[in-house]
Amino acid sequence: MALDNIDRRILQELQHDASLSTSDLADRVGLSTTPCWRRVRQLETSGYIKKRVALLDRARLGVATTVFVAVKTRSHAADWLDKFARAVSDMPEVVEFHRMSGDIDYLMKVVVPDIPAYDAFYKRLISKIDLSDVSSSFAMEEIKTTTALPLDYLD
């Protein structure tokens, strides 16, 4: 599916407020309601829109501490990674989990209430999987965070 300027505007608007009614979205992108709805449905079925979610306030929910956890491992076997991925997937504190290039094998973004909660998380993690090195960095300040992706690179 080739995206035109209206599709891009729809994506941009929905990235900033997915709760917009179809009517409000249509007004913002210069369409009538039915064609706008059809385009949104097409963007969803084509996979450009994976899902729509509510972004919650971490501080109000008591999980304002962000920890970046760098993991090095001795094992690079597929079965070990599968076990690690299953263990991490069962831990709701892990909000991002990436396999990396370079010196670090895996990087996790973990949200917890405080350092003691992170310590409890860490103990649960190492009880589930053998890791050769775990290094944790606590975010001091969140300077920029966004879920909006840059759309300038679309063909």
Stated pTM of the model: 0.88
pLDDT in tens, 29-63: 999 999 999 999 999 999 999 999 999 999 999 99
Q: Is residue 145 part of a domain?
A: no
pLDDT in tens, 91-145: 999 999 999 999 999 999 999 999 999 999 999 999 999 898 999 999 999 999 9
Q: Is residue 114 part of a domain?
A: yes
Residue 69 carries which side chain, given as an amino acid letter?
V
Q: Is residue 56 part of a domain?
A: no
Domain housing 24: 5-45
Q: Is residue 112 part of a domain?
A: yes
pLDDT in tens, 55-90: 999 999 999 999 999 999 988 889 999 999 999 999
Question: Which helix or strand (DSSP H or E) is residue 6 part of?
Answer: helix 5-16
The token pair that represents 100 in the structure block: 């990396």
CATH (domain of 94): 3.30.70.920
The token pair that represents 135 in the structure block: 């290094």
Residues 6+ apart with CB under 8 A from 18: 52, 53
Q: In total, how many domains does the chain have? A: 2
